[in-house]
């Protein structure tokens, strides 16, 4: 079996909030078209690391990073990088569904409009439909595209946010605990969707649920107190961890 292509390389990444260090020398290669899960106790640095990939930490006052992160071998912290373009290549889905206070249609059309991705209304209509289909939402909303997005159920809102993220045709999807605000049925639908989406996108997901990581990821990274303790095939990390700290976390001895 061919080994997967590396999409993202992180080398010796350190992140500081003022004088407080949040990440210590994190190095990892993230494969293309797989789901990589970041697990670990609250405050271990997994969300901080996730936000390094689309440079969202840049917006936090006093936050700075050193080390190197490359996407397709290009250093994304180089001065030549256009951060707006970078973020268009990297979709982000947050913990709590956050549709814009606009119609379902306008939520999905927003990104393509501001990035000039379509030439006319019929192109935009087609892109909105494709994005909603890929997010598994089209059949539920096709007759009410002009209804406000926040009127949908929580699970539908999260799928709308996924449709919005993929409408700008990104390479990578970042998901920060995308199911934590959802009920088990909505969670199962999103998990199935994530498994389908990895055919097209490289997906990195922070999750507090080890069961979720075990179900839907191919690679798992375990963080503890700002350090990457273990990274490997999900099955190996959960059934045969190499590190005692990983084993203690997975078995529930530490939380």
Domains of the chain (ranges, CATH numbers): 6-250 (3.40.50.300)
pLDDT of residue 115: 87
pTM: 0.93
Alpha carbon distance 233, 254 (integer Å): 22
pLDDT of residue 146: 98
Which tens digits make up the pLDDT trace of 154-189? 999 999 999 999 999 999 999 999 999 899 999 999
Contact 224, 218 (CB under 8 A): no
Nearest by Cα to 237 from 220, 218, 217: 220
pLDDT at residue 253 above 90?
no
**Rg from Cα positions in the chain:** 18
Structure confidence at residue 255 as a pLDDT band (50, 70, 90): low
pLDDT of residue 98: 94
Give the three-state DSSP class for 118. Answer: coil
Q: Bridge-partner residues for 6, per DSSP?
A: 31
Alpha carbon distance 220, 161 (integer Å): 24
How big is the chain, counted in residues?
255
pLDDT of residue 226: 97
Which tens digits make up the pLDDT trace of 97-141? 999 999 999 999 999 998 898 999 999 999 999 999 999 999 999
The structure tokens 């839907």 sit at 216
Q: For the chain, what is the mean pLDDT? A: 94
């Amino acid at each position: 079996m061919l080994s997967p292509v590396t999409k993202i390389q992180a080398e010796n990444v350190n992140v500081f909030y003022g004088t407080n260090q949040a990440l210590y020398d994190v190095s990892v290669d993230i494969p293309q078209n797989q789901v990589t899960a970041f697990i670990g106790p609250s405050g271990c640095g997994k969300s901080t690391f996730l936000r390094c990939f689309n440079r969202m930490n840049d917006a936090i006052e006093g936050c700075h990073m050193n080390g190197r992160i490359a996407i397709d071998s290009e250093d994304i912290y180089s001065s030549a990088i256009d951060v707006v373009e970078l973020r268009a290549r990297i979709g982000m889905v947050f913990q709590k569904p956050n549709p814009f206070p606009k119609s379902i249609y306008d939520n999905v059309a927003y990104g393509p409009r501001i990035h000039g991705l379509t030439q006319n209304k019929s192109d935009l209509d087609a892109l909105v439909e494709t994005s909603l289909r890929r997010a598994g939402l089209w059949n539920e909303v096709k007759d009410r595209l002009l209804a406000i997005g926040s009127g949908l159920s929580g699970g539908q809102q999260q799928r709308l946010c996924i449709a919005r993220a993929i409408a700008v045709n990104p390479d990578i999807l970042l998901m920060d605990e995308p199911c934590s605000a959802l009920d088990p049925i909505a969670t199962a639908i999103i998990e199935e969707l994530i498994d389908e989406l990895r055919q097209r996108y490289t997906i990195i997901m922070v999750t507090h649920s080890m069961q979720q990581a075990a179900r839907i990821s191919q690679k798992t990274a375990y963080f503890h107190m700002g350090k990457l303790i273990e990274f490997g095939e999900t099955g190996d990390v959960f059934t045969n961890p190499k590190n005692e700290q990983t084993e203690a976390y997975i078995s529930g001895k530490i939380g």
